[in-house]
Amino acid sequence: MSERIKSNDLAAVPEISLEGRHFRLMKEMNELS
């Protein structure tokens, strides 16, 4: 659950770097699982 909260926090921030996009992708994958 902690990882999911992290993803949500990062998703709220504009995508400044590749890490932002990567975390956003992981968030979507987590929701699909």
For 14-32, write each residue's pLDDT tens digit.
Answer: 656 777 788 888 999 998 8
Question: 24 and 10 in contact (C-beta within 8 Å)?
Answer: yes
The domain total for the chain is 1
Those residues with Cβ within 8 angstroms of residue 16's Cβ, 6 or more apart along the chain or in another chain: none
Task: Place 12 in a pLDDT band, splitting at 50, 70 and 90.
Answer: low
Higher pLDDT, 26 or 8: 26
pTM as predicted: 0.39
Range of the domain at 19: 2-32
DSSP state of 6: H
pLDDT of res. 9: 66
Those residues with Cβ within 8 angstroms of residue 22's Cβ, 6 or more apart along the chain or in another chain: none
Average pLDDT over residues 7-17: 62
User: Of 19, 26, 32, nearest to 5 (Cα)?
Assistant: 26
pLDDT of res. 2: 60
Report the C-alpha gap between 16 and 2 in whole angstroms: 22
